[in-house]
Structure 1
Amino acid sequence: MRKLRIKLEGTIMARRWAINGRFLSQPTTGVQRYARETVRALDCWIAEQTLLARGLEVELLVPPGAESLELKAIEIRQVGRLGGHAWEQVALAARPKGTGLLSLCNTGPIAARKQIVCIHDANVWNAPQSYSLAFRGLYRVLLPAVGRAAWSVSTVSSYSLEEMIRHKIAPAGRLFLAPNGHEHALRWKPEHSAETRLAASRDTIVMIGSAAPHKNAGFILDMADRLGRAGLRIAIVGMSDPRVFRSGRSRAEAANVHWLGRIPDSQLAALLRDSMCLAFPSLTEGFGLPALEAMAIGCPVVVSDRASLPEICGGAALFAPPDNPDAWFDSFMRLHGSPDLRLEMIGKGRARASRFSWRRTALRYLEAMAAADGVRAAAGRELELT
């Protein structure tokens, strides 16, 4: 195939892409956090006019009622009158011909062929008990339809990539890794509320998530009395969305359990900083962002030894099987009884978290977008068009 080289100093034909901004109309969970931070990092690369951003024009397309996002180089534009999946399948599908589409939150228009979509996990197959019948049924049809139609599919861990292949969500040759980053947690300014100040202590185990069964929160709550007798407390952050999740159990009534609900990032940072550790006993995770956030802030983590968590946490966490309460209790007591171990885990955690960068993840998307356009970086200061 003949190759045409174009010097960067010369004129480069504009490459047009749109970003699926539906996430700005949704509550912020780990998936929406991923989209926000990836778009921010992309915006920085484009504003800096890095090699792969030369000639790249990007719009963030949002539905009615979407929140704003402060960006420097990416324009935000509202399109359509619908919301939800209908907005994705109709308004985004009607974008100008030839415009690529980046969808970062599992779904996108099935009709879009020049689309890069991030599918974070296969939990509707691996943890069906955590989702309503309607949600599970829709996503078991929608995810493979989008994954097979898209130009390429990203996911957040090697574990998730293997699950994409196992469940035939996307062909192996079109999958690539684009993990979560940690930098956003460093921007959180720790600030206690009266409730988090009361809950935080060197005797406190923090849990973040929902009552979805695969989060396995009930496993730790069942240990509340035993932990209380050892002088330990539990602080629970977050809640489930009843439209998606089915609750795994009712709230524990133990005196050493603090239910904090949803709290701002600043309060979460203060709670993690001033508590003994984060407990993350999930049965399955596509990535496990709360563990990375805790490590970045300087909070030791005790995590499940399943799914993506060993891959993400490496040697910077204490691991325990999510069905072995004695192993979890022993890990908690080791941290509680050894300030030196706690300091060691904080240092390891911060070093591990620094390996995951939104900047590097955004660069992976720039590379994928360039490849979809038939453009790749060549040696020196040139682009190669094929």
Structure 2
Amino acid sequence: MKTIASKTIAFNGKFFGAAPTGVHKVAEQLVAATDALIAGQAGSGLDCTLVVRDRVEIPRYRNISCVRESRWVRRIHRIAWEQCYLPLARRRDFILNLCNLGPLLHRDSATMIHDAQVYSAPESYSLPFRLWYKSLYFFIGKRHKIIFTVSEFSKAELVRYGIANADKIVVVHNGCDHVLQVQPDARQVAALSLKPRRYVLALANTQKHKNVGILLKAFASAQLSDVELVLFGNATQADFEGLGHVVPPNVRFTGRISDAELVGLMTHAGALAFPSLTEGFGLPPLEAMALGCPVIAAPLGALPEVCGKAVLYADPFDADAWRMNILAVLNDESVRQSLISAGRRQAGGFTWRQAARSMFETVKAVSG
């Protein structure tokens, strides 16, 4: 089979300058891991360029060149830039798209589609968003040479919904070792007057499939009245109440916080609760486990694949099950220590270097 070793691999850097999301975090880590990979023997033959649309600050890479667009190009709408300008400007390159979407006109491409939740959890997205993503997924799955995804569960979902054939989809698990390089910032712990190991972390996300409502019900119990639920992220108390949720008085909202502040919260938390009804991967549980924070999760989506036997699982529709598991983790030291040890072992199997190597072994084997 021919290889593309002599062809430039152009990263679609549209995510730099966009609002931070979990998908964008994965893309940033994969680019950084590729940069490190090129420096070693495993990266021989890779010629990589990062194409950035916006004039934003990006990390300094030693082995990946960066192309910043001119002022007139930056005036092009983000969608038009990706769908029209990028495939024309990089027509001789192999374009690697890491954030679900990519240019339809460029067949010599690979795209990482993280999940199929616009199909499996439609109530979590607006109608225009669903229609746009579904239409692009259909053509990307047929036209691009490789479809990467982040779990065997997501691969099965992409096949199930007809996005791509199984023989075109390659699973590249996320890494989680980036959190070990972050210096913890405990300011949020102090600002919210939190007692170490007497609070539980969870995402502040109102999307229905994130299922945070079950945690609000659990924390309304008198048995958890002296434990705080700390929700990190953009959603506010008003957002949840606007959707009909009752927010107990022992729930705190951090708003958007830095990675260092999140690491600080995870380091001192009693547990991370992750009740999602579906996930393409589920990075926060692995991040927590890597930091020695016990995890309680729903046994759905990719979470059993990613978390293995290193977490406590709770019925996503049973508030009492969450209450009992939370109390077990917070009050039983043997349970806590067992989860910490198992979690660190589980998280140790997911590294960004491994992810980058797997991705580029696949890319190099594709005919040009």
Give the TM-score taking structure 2 as reference length.
0.92
Residue type of the alignment partner of 1:320 = A
For 2:117, the aligned partner's letter is N
Q: CA deviation at 1:253?
A: 4.4
Distance 1:297 1:196 in 2: 19
* Aligned equivalents of 2:111, 2:188: Cα separation in 1: 41
Indicate conservation of the 8 Å contact 1:202/1:274, yes or no. yes
1:37 paired residue number: 29
- Aligned equivalents of 2:241, 2:157: Cα separation in 1: 25
Residues 55-204 of structure 1 aligned to structure 2 (within 5 Å): 55-79=45-69, 80-81=73-74, 82-194=76-188, 198-204=193-199
Q: Is residue 357 of structure 1 aligned with residue 348 of structure 2? A: no
Contact 1:130 1:246 in 2 (8 A): no
Shift of 1:20: 0.4
Cα distance change on mapping 1:316 and 1:306 into 2, 3 Å: same
Kindly provide the amino acid, as one letter, of the partner of residue 17 in structure 2. Answer: S
Comparing 31-40 and 125-134, the one that deviates more? 125-134
Aligned residue number for residue 383 of structure 1:
none
Q: Distance in 2 between matches of 1:273 and 1:328?
A: 21
Q: Cα distance, 1:87 vs. partner?
A: 1.3
User: Is 2:303 aligned against 1:309?
Assistant: yes
TM-aligned CA deviation for residue 58 of structure 1: 1.0
- Measured on the aligned residues, the alpha-carbon RMSD in Å equals 2.3
Deviation by residue 1:246-294 (Cα, 9 ceiling, x = unmatched): 9983675432111111111111111111111000000110000011110
The structure 1 residue matched to 2:284, chosen from 267, 285, 290, is 290
| Farther off after superposition, 162-171 or 74-83 | 74-83
Separation (CA, whole Å) in 2 of partners of 1:194 and 1:152: 42
Q: 2:202 aligns with which of 189, 203, 207?
A: 207
Task: Give the whole-Å Cα distance in 1 for the aligned partners of 2:120 and 2:323.
Answer: 27
User: Cα–Cα, structure 1 residues 196 and 158, in superposed 2: closer, same or farther, change >3 Å?
Assistant: farther
The whole-number CA distance in structure 1 between the counterparts of 2:56 and 2:197 is: 40
Distance 2:123 2:211 in 1: 12
1:224-303 mapped onto 2 (5 Å cutoff): 224-226=219-221, 229-240=224-235, 249=243, 252-303=246-297
Separation (CA, whole Å) in 1 of partners of 2:131 and 2:217: 31
* Structure 1 counterpart SS, 2:15: helix
**Deviation by residue 1:320-367 (Cα, 9 ceiling, x = unmatched):** 121111211111111122112111111110110011111011011211
Q: Deviations over 1:160-219 (max 9, x none)?
A: 000010011111111111111011111111111155552353221110241111111111
* 3-state DSSP of counterpart to 1:184: helix
Structure-2 residue corresponding to 1:345: 339
Q: Which residue of 2 aligns with 1:377?
A: none
Q: Any conservation in 2 of the 1:212–1:240 contact (CA below 8 Å)? A: no
Where 1:67 maps in the other structure, the secondary structure is coil
Give the alignment's TM-score, normalised by structure 1: 0.88
Identity %: 35
Separation (CA, whole Å) in 1 of partners of 2:98 and 2:22: 11
Does structure 2 conserve the Cα–Cα contact (< 8 Å) formed by 1:93 and 1:111?
yes
Distance 2:312 2:5 in 1: 51
1:25 aligned onto 2:17:
yes
Distance 1:229 1:350, change over 3 A: closer
Could you tell me whether the CA contact under 8 Å between 1:120 and 1:156 is conserved in 2?
yes
| Cα distance in 2 for residues equivalent to 1:237 and 1:13 | 43
Partners of 2:307 and 2:5 in 1: CA distance: 42
In the alignment, the residues of structure 1 paired with residue 100 and residue 222 of structure 2 have an alpha-carbon distance, to the nearest angstrom, of 38
Corresponding residue of 1:222: 217
Per-residue CA deviation, residues 48-84 of structure 1 (Å, 9 max, x unaligned), is: 2x24x33322110011234312211101112333242
Point out where structure 2 has 5 or more consecutive residues left out of the alignment.
none
Q: 2:317 aligns with which of 317, 323, 329?
A: 323
Partner SS for 2:101? coil
Gaps of 5+ in 1: 5-11, 375-386
Within 2, Cα distance between the matches of 1:207 and 1:171?
Answer: 35
Distance 2:155 2:196 in 1: 38
